[in-house]
Amino acid sequence: MVDHRIEKLARLCVQYSLDIKPNEQVLIQGSEQARPLINELYKECLLKDAHPMVLADLDLQYTFFKYAKEPQLKFVSPIQKFIAENVDASIGIFCEPNPKGLSTVDPEKLRIRSASRKEMMEIFFRRIGEGKLRWTGLPYPISAEAQEASMALQEYEDFVYSSCLVDKEDPVAEWKKVRQQQQKICDFLNQANEIHIVGEDTNLTFNVKGRKWINCSGKENMPDGEVFTGPVENSTNGTIRFTYPGIISGREVEDIKLTFKDGRVTQASAAKGDDFLQQTLKIEGADRLGETAIGTNYGITRFTKSMLFDEKMGGTIHMALGNAYPESGGKNQSAIHWDILKDMKKDGEIYADDRLFYKNGKFLE
């Protein structure tokens, strides 16, 4: 018997997050472990008279990186490109059977592979900006990720489904309330020209004039709870120290400290994984900020090593090296988008045009 929360999550995704319409082509991607959720998503799309297609992930990444030569690392399938250019909606399921599976892979191989995805990223973000592609990512809890989050599986399941609000009687109504609350923040920030962030080993400024703050309330991620924008590309100056590990491709890069000058990273260091950080910064566009965001989901109270949850945590900010989201007005292009998280609950302050509006992890009235 399917957990009723899985049914509610699939329904929330199809009916609210993506608002699937008849005859739309919907791509569903996830691992074999996520089959119960994939099945429910597939069913919900059919009930909407759409055309769902499933691409299963068989967890072959380690085999690929172990044996692939450079031409194979750089190869992009024309079939994948065709799909990216033609689907109306895309659903990605976060369900990693081995979160550490790529932790021993040569960083140079990962860099080459990431760089090869630039055109795919450009297609994806261009179509989103044009309103031709809608997407969402959502979780399916399994033991491997529960272990990463230091929880029992049942505890992790409760955490996942409650963070998505599918434990509520009417999840759609709950996410609409979130949207109304966050829009007030966006309306305020959309009037600002300069943002100044102060915190532990941090003093950073950037310009957001002409950029749009995006209200993230369950449309592109589930769970959700953040407001973000794309900083003006040449405006970031100062230093930031990220207090949580930067996690990407199975790597945990700890104690990342970045210094910016006129938008570019001029100094970078990490206490652990520094070689990976340096290789990543060599990717075109990865030395600029593509996103800056404030987490607003105070129901997420613990670091899980999954940015799907962690970047939404109330009392934190996160920034992404690399590609910007066009809907925010951001113009930076890159083959990567690496979100890195900072705790703001201790001595954290954010100013908009010299007006303090956020202190110690909370918005001020």
pLDDT of residue 220: 87
- Domains of the chain listed by start with CATH number: 4-163 (3.40.1830.10), 181-363 (no CATH)
- Tokens in use for 297? 């989901």
pLDDT of residue 102: 83
Question: What would the pLDDT profile of 211-236 be if each residue is shown by its tens digit?
Answer: 999 999 999 899 999 999 999 999 99
User: Using alpha carbons only, what angle is made at residue 364 by residues 340 and 341, rounded to the nearest 5 degrees?
Assistant: 5
Q: Is residue 2 scored above 80 in pLDDT?
A: no
Average pLDDT score over residue span 51-60 = 91
Q: Is residue 56 scored above 70 in pLDDT?
A: yes
Rg (alpha carbons) of the chain, rounded to whole number = 20
Q: Is residue 1 scored above 70 in pLDDT?
A: no
pLDDT of residue 84: 92
pLDDT of residue 288: 97
Q: Is residue 72 scored above 70 in pLDDT?
A: yes
Q: How far apart are the first and last CA of the chain?
A: 47
Q: How far lies 159's CA from each of 74, 121, 172, 301, in Å?
A: 38, 31, 18, 10
Average pLDDT score over residue span 256-280 = 96
Count CA atoms closer than 13 A to 11's CA, side-chain side. 11
Chain centroid to Cα 146, Å, comes to 19
pTM of the model: 0.85
